[in-house]
Structure 1
Amino acid sequence: MDILICEDDKNHRNLIELIITKYLTHNDRSINLALSATNPYQLIKYLENNKTSQALYFLDVDLKSDMNGFELANKIRDIDLAAKIVFITNHVELTSLTFSYKVEALDFIVKDKLEHMSVRIIDCIIVACERYKLSSHLKEVILLETINETLRVDAEDILFIETSPTPHKIIYHLKDSSLEVYGKIKNIESLSNDFLRCHQSFVVNIKNITSIDRKNKIVHLRANSKCFVSKRYLSRLLEKCSVVLG
């Protein structure tokens, strides 16, 4: 599980880093402090360039930017749907705004005594890690929003996803059907560790790949399906599939 921080105040940022790194040194080595950002755009850029899902985020509310912590949280959820978000702030009166922005915060920590902050931060890490490990043992479900309803689809049933000819839409190709929904292809990888970008227009479920035609740049999947892989993504796909395909 990754942890990411966004705090504009250097002293507070260093303090949060210290609490987290001290805990990680003596505890769960599967947790990684991936980023400590000074502004929201630095964090967003990191998420756009790195495959991150179900991460834990510690965000200041007042980031001295044109984007506050609540707005940043909403943008994080666009990329990392299952994000665990914790706000750390001097402004206790802003607690109620977490409901207005509908960001489903894990906790709201006030910057006060070091001991109190440390306990709350560590508690959040423990809870987030437990939920992360639990979800990894459960059947992975993807929520797809159609015009009329929200559909729960097992990730293992998704073969690949492609951009739709209809603007702002993508198509999920399942083992026995297809679904067209609103979305961006660049955000799909974060929904599952098994989803991998293989083309400008395609994301493939690596667990459903049966073979890869390197010469013709075609990915063959279960249910006699196929999609394309571009030269840019081929080596990355082959590396990932070396484990899947043996």
Structure 2
Amino acid sequence: MKIFLLEDELQQQLRVEKHIATIANELDLTIEMISTGKLSEFEEYIQHSDLHQLYFLDIHIQDNEYCGLEIAQKIREANPYAIIVFITTKSEFASITYRYKVSALDFIDKNLNEDLFKSKLQGCIEYLTTIQIKNDDLTDYFEYDFRDKKIKIPFKDILYIETIGTAYKLNLVGKNFQKEIAGSLSDVLNKDEEDRYFSPHQSFIVNRSMIIGMDKKNKQLLLKEGYSCPISRSNIKRVKKLIEEQNLEYNA
């Protein structure tokens, strides 16, 4: 389990770290704690975080009264499954978070005494632990490991994966989110033992369950959620055969 803390007051950083270390010991959990007050570092963590991570955010950071809320939006865009908790003296902001559409789990008041403060932190950690267990039991995941960088996302939420300009960088496009991951399409396909992906183009692989049809005129493979992927000339016949076999939409 990874926990990320954005807090620009060193005293508060140390306070949270101390309680989480105690909680990890008491609950016999392995927790990797990453804390910083630097926005650039935190945004880097966001882009490379895994599924169902826990983020503790101060709201007022570096003279920006709404910084934590803005960062929470970036987290939600990169990781729709993240658990977000605000640790702040500004509990009045609880009523406006809906404007930012970040779905915070909780607000923890910095002014709480140590026992209550720790209890609040522990409640969030136990919630994440429960969510992870439930999802592992009930959810079919896409799990991918490339050069020690791991990703784990519910397969049903993935639309397609495409190559991007940088070598060994992929853009994973899902329902309401996009995420850059390290890897190559050929490596993903080689590890696809259940034949879940289909490649209509050398730069794209598509979740077969998301395919709804083909637009032959514009050489596009039609997907759910209004998405589409290009079809290379050499793959037109393969795509047409797939569409016909599954009785999907076909626009000549």
* TM-score, normalized by the shorter chain, greater than 0.5: yes
CA distance in 1 between partners of 2:5 and 2:172 (Å): 33
Q: 2: CA distance between counterparts of 1:205 and 1:51?
A: 23
**Range with bigger deviation, 13-22 or 62-71:** 62-71
Letter of the 1:33 partner, please give it: E
Change (3 A) 1:223 1:114: closer
Aligned position for 1:114:
114
Q: 1:132 to 1:65 in 2, by over 3 A?
A: farther
3-state SS, counterpart of residue 96 of structure 1: helix
Letter in 1 for 2:40: Y
C-alpha contact 2:79 2:177 (8 A) present in aligned 1: no
Give a deviation string over 1:167-189, Cα, whole Å, max 9, x none: xxx787xxxxxx9x8865xx154
Deviation at 1:33, TM superposition (A): 2.5
Q: In structure 1, what is the equivalent of residue 146 of structure 2?
A: none
Matched letter for residue 14 of structure 2 = N
Counterpart secondary structure, 2:188: strand
Name the residue aligned to 2:57: 59
Is residue 78–residue 177 contact of structure 2 (8 Å, CA) maintained in 1?
A: no
- Residue of structure 1 in register with 2:150 after alignment: none
Counterpart in 1 of 2:188? 204
Q: What amino acid is aligned across from residue 36 of structure 1 in structure 2?
A: S
Which residue matches 1:126? 126
**Identical positions, percent:** 28
Specify whether residues 171 and 53 from structure 1 end up closer, same or farther in structure 2 by C-alpha distance, changes over 3 A only.
Answer: closer
Change (3 A) 1:171 1:56: closer
**Retained in 1: the 8 A contact 2:89–2:109?**
yes
Deviations 1:166-224 (A, max 9, x none): xxxx787xxxxxx9x8865xx154xxxxxx6216xx883775248xxxxxxxxxx5677
Partner of 2:36: 37
Q: State the match for 2:92 in structure 1.
A: 93
**Larger Rg belongs to:** 2
CA contact (8 A) 2:57 2:86 kept: yes
Is the aligned partner of 1:6 residue 2:6?
yes
| Contact 1:39-1:65 at 8 Å conserved across structures | no
Q: Distance in 1 between matches of 2:33 and 2:80?
A: 18
Please, which runs of 5 or more residues in structure 2 have no aligned partner?
Answer: 143-152, 165-170, 204-252
Cα shift readout 1:152-172 (whole Å, capped 9, x = no counterpart):
x971796961159xxxxx787
Q: 1 CA distance for matches of 2:180 and 2:158? A: 12
**1:82-121 CA distances to partner (integer Å, 9 max, x unpaired)?**
0000001011211112212111011011111222111111
CA RMSD of aligned residues (A): 3.7
Secondary structure in 1 matching 2:184 = strand
Q: Which AA in structure 1 matches 2:183?
A: R
Q: Which residue of 2 aligns with 1:80?
A: 79
* 1:136 shift after superposition: 1.7
Structure 2 counterpart of 1:52, which letter?
A: D
